[in-house]
Every structure is written in structure tokens, then in C-alpha cells.
Amino acid sequence: MSELEILERLRARARPFPRSGVRLGIGDDCAIFAARKGEELLITTDLLLEGVHFERGSHPPATLGRKALARALSDIAAMGGQARLCLVSLAAPRWAGRGFIDGFFRGLLGLASRYKVTLAGGDLTQSEALACDVVVCGAVERGGALTRSGARAGDRIYVSGVLGGSALGLRTRRGAAWRRHAAPEPRLELGALLRRLGATAAIDLSDGLALDLHRLAKASGVAASVHLPLPVFPGASFEEVLHGGEDYELLFTVRPGVVVPEAHGGVPLTCIGAMRRGRPGALELFGRPLAPVGWDPFRKRDR
Ligand SMILES: [Mg+2]
């Protein structure tokens, strides 16, 4: 199968969604995108590499394609935006033939269609190992994006969903935990709710609660104290809950007194602690210091 043939097949399956703002998608030198009045663009990129983020044969092609997009959409969710378009660059090794590439894009386009994200372009090439880069462009009302840096002392810390499932799935490769690892759900609707609630800061949990809470606290210039029971994925260890990556839930802060619903779209929202004055980024867990340790590709697993 030639690159041209693949592109033609994708083009037919990736027509722009009417309200995505994509005026011209796959097929020209560039895509054309028209943002709406009063919006700012959110732009993010996410790299998925064989041997670093997944092992060959561990995920069916459609699952891998879906996950490649889900990871980038999770960043748009964390900023409270709507995802509008994506660009997908795929370097496929010889083992990933026509069936693989078809499956990969079937999974990716399935998730794209769920959130009305137009596949507007990308690049295809051959390589030794599989590599996929997904760029997502989203939009948010001007000045309305949730950032990591807005939390203040006294803000309540919340987390969505239950934690540690992805790390448990990676360890056991079985059941609901494996599905959690292989098919994370980007919390886009929740991100929009957090904006309406006036959340002061947010981040998606890609590298584990401890490390991502540290990042949020540091960016906000405050310390964080976790002193309430954590929502645990059934069977996950405390280590997996605190330091396991790829849960793709949202961690956010609100001013005290803001009423946060107990759940949103079936996903529980749990208060786990509060921000406090202190060394920026310092973490405390039930009164003891908590190391900001999590998934770091440059150090591999620190455990
Ligand atoms: Mg992120």
C-alpha cells in the first residue's frame, strides 16, 4: 500500500465536522482552521513511542490509535477547552502493514468522532520502531483557560475518577484495569464543567498523583496537603494510586465554598485535601512529606 493510497482512504474517512472550524482538511499543503470570535486556541502535542510508551503487540491497532489521540485530548480537557482538530504523524515499521494502519486510524477516528475532532492532516513515513505524534488544536473562551498556576492557599484539591487503575492494568494485563490502561477516557466534558465552576487550576494525571500535584502546586507557588481518603481503583496498591501514571483523570482546585457535584457523567469527584502556604510544590500526605515521584521517561520508573 502506497502513502498516496493510505492518504486517499483517510481523506474519505476524515471529513471535517461542520462546527469544528476546519475549512480545509486532508489533501492540501496545510489545513485551514477558522477560530470563532472571542476564542483563544489551545495547542498541544503528544508522542507515543514503541518501546517507551507501549510494547509491540501489547495493544491491538485500534486501541493504540485511540490511545494516541486520547492522551492529547486529555491535555485539552485539563485546560477546560473544546478539541477541534488533530494532526497525526505516524512512522510505521515494516511489521505494521495495511491492516495495522487501517485499524490504528479506525480507533483514532472513532474517538475523534465521539468528540467531533476533525482529523485535518498529518504525515506518514516508515521507520524501525513505531512512533506516533498527535497534535490537537482546541479552543476556549478568551481568558477562560484553566491553567496549573491559579491555585491559592486554602483552595480545595479534587480528583476525578478512581486512581491507580492504569498502573495496575500495566502490571496485571487483565480485566477492567487493563482496559483502563489501554483505553483511557479524556475528561473533556468534565473540563468544561470545571470552567463553569470557576476552578482555580487544573492538570491531567498523566504521570501520577504525586508528581502532577507537585507540578500544579509548584506552578501556583503554594504547597499541597492530601489528608482525605483517596479514590482507589479496586485492587490498585497505594504506590500505584500515588505514583502510577496514565490515569488521565483531572486534578483540580476550587476556592473553599464552591459546591462541586459528587459526580459528573458517572465519574466521581473527590476532595482529597487543600492547598496551603509553604514551599512551592511541597507535598504532604496525612501529615508526612510526600516525594514528587512518578512516571519520568528520562529516569524510567523511579521505584
Ligand atoms: Mg498534561
Q: How many angstroms is it from 142 CA to the middle of ligand 1?
A: 20
Q: How many angstroms is it from 205 CA to the middle of ligand 1?
A: 7
Q: How many angstroms is it from 76 CA to the middle of ligand 1?
A: 8
Give the separation between CA 229 and CA 123, rounded to whole angstroms.
Answer: 45
pLDDT at 295: 73
Q: How many angstroms is it from 203 CA to the middle of ligand 1?
A: 6
Q: How many angstroms is it from 204 CA to the middle of ligand 1?
A: 5
Q: How many angstroms is it from 73 CA to the middle of ligand 1?
A: 9
pLDDT at 300: 53
Class of domain 3-141: alpha beta
Q: How many angstroms is it from 225 CA to the middle of ligand 1?
A: 21
Q: How many angstroms is it from 46 CA to the middle of ligand 1?
A: 9
Report the topology of domain 156-289: Phosphoribosyl-aminoimidazole Synthetase; Chain A, domain 2 (3.90.650)
Q: How many angstroms is it from 44 CA to the middle of ligand 1?
A: 9
Q: How far apart are the first and last CA of the chain?
A: 44
Q: How many angstroms is it from 250 CA to the middle of ligand 1?
A: 9
Q: What is the mean pLDDT of residues 189-212?
A: 97
Supply the DSSP string of the chain, one letter for each residue: --HHHHHHHHHHH-PPPGGG-EEE-BTBSS-EE-PPTTEEEEEEEEEEEBTTTB-TTSS-HHHHHHHHHHHHHHHHHHTTPEEEEEEEEEEE-TTS-HHHHHHHHHHHHHHHHHTT-EEEEEEEEE-SS-EEEEEEEEEEETT----SS---TTPEEEEES-BSHHHHHHHH--HHHHHHHHS----HHHHHHHHHHT-SEEEE-SS-HHHHHHHHHHHHT-EEEE-S---B-TT--HHHHHH------EEEEE-TT----SEETTEEEEEEEEEESSSTT-EEETTEE-------TTT----
Express each pLDDT in 73-104 by its tens digit.
Answer: 999 999 999 999 999 999 999 999 889 999 99
Q: How many angstroms is it from 234 CA to the middle of ligand 1?
A: 24
pLDDT at 12: 87
Q: How many angstroms is it from 2 CA to the middle of ligand 1?
A: 35
Q: What is the mean pLDDT of residues 19-29?
A: 92
Express each pLDDT in 225-270 by its tens digit.
Answer: 999 999 999 999 999 999 999 999 999 999 999 999 999 999 999 9
Q: Which residues surround the ion ligand 1 when the cut-off is CB under 5 Å?
A: 75, 204, 206
Q: What proportion of the chain, given as a percentage, has pLDDT over 90?
A: 86
Mean pLDDT value across the chain: 94
Q: Give residue 173's pLDDT band: very low, low, confident or very high (50, 70, 90).
A: very high
Express each pLDDT in 100-133 by its tens digit.
Answer: 999 999 999 999 999 999 999 999 999 999 999 9
Which of 241, 246, 218 has its CA nearest to residue 231? 241
Q: What is the mean pLDDT of residues 30-56?
A: 94
pLDDT at 302: 40
| Domain chopping of the chain, boundaries | 3-141, 156-289
Q: Give residue 303's pLDDT band: very low, low, confident or very high (50, 70, 90).
A: very low
